[in-house]
Each structure stands twice: as C-alpha cells, then as structure tokens.
Amino acid sequence: KAGVTQTPRYLIKTRGQQVTLSCSPISGHRSVSWYQQTPGQGLQFLFEYFSETQRNKGNFPGRFSGRQFSNSRSEMNVSTLELGDSALYLCASSLARAGDGYTFGSGTRLTVV
C-alpha cells in the first residue's frame, strides 16, 4: 500500500513569504503529526490532527498552523518566514493509538533565503 506522501520535496522561499506543505497519510490512518527537524534542535513536534481536529500542539509560534481535511490529508502553513524556519518538515501518520507506531513521509526540505 502507498506510504505517507509529502509534497513538495524541496522548497526555496524568501524571508517574509508564506508556505504551505502537504501530507497525504496512509489510507485508513486518521492521525497526522508534523515535526520540524534541524541540525541544532533535532526533531521537534509541531502539532497533531485527528478527524480534522487539532488535538495537540508543540511550542512553536502562531506563524505555524495546520489543518486536516475530511480525507485525512493535512497541510501545514508557515507565514512570515524567517531564516530560522529552514528545516526538514516531516509528516507522520498513524491509526491513532500510541503503540501503533508512526509512519513517516520523506519530508519537505524548506530553505528560507
């Protein structure tokens, strides 16, 4: 079966712009989580959605937002981009129970210049 699909794979944006990243989970998975990965901070949790509702949010500024659609696809948006937002953004999907494990996509590499 198809894995977690993230688009685009690479993105270059200018400071001050906004960006939208997309994630399509594994069919049947209703939980989608987002993570930011940087060399300095490692993997940090952004937020988690389940059945179109945000259930959990990490410690990121309000410029980071997300949503989930009725087909479980999710998008995350970053407004007013800063240089420090340059990172690999990973999406993970799950059947929603903690022990199910999370299947990750290949990520979107965002570079802010």
Partner 1 sequence: AQTVTQSQPEMSVQEAETVTLSCTYDTSESNYYLFWYKQPPSRQMILVIRQEAYKQQNATENRFSVNFQKAAKSFSLKISDSQLGDTAMYFCAFIPANAGGTSYGKLTFGQGTILTVHP
Residue ranges that bind partner 1, judged by CB under 8 A: 31-33, 35, 42-43, 45, 47-50, 55-56, 58, 88, 90, 92, 94, 97-99, 101-107, 109
**Neighbouring residues of 51: CB distance < 8 A, sequence distance ≥ 6:** 30, 68
φ/ψ (deg, to 5) at 112: -110, 125
Which lies closer to partner 1 via its Cβ, residue 24 or residue 94?
94
Identify which of residues 47 and 64 has a Cβ nearer to partner 1 in the complex: 47
C-beta of residue 31 within 8 angstroms of C-beta of residue 93? yes
User: 3 vs 61, which CB is nearer to partner 1?
Assistant: 3
Query: Across-strand partners of 21?
Result: 76
Please report how close the Cβ of residue 2 comes to partner 1 at its closest, in angstroms.
13
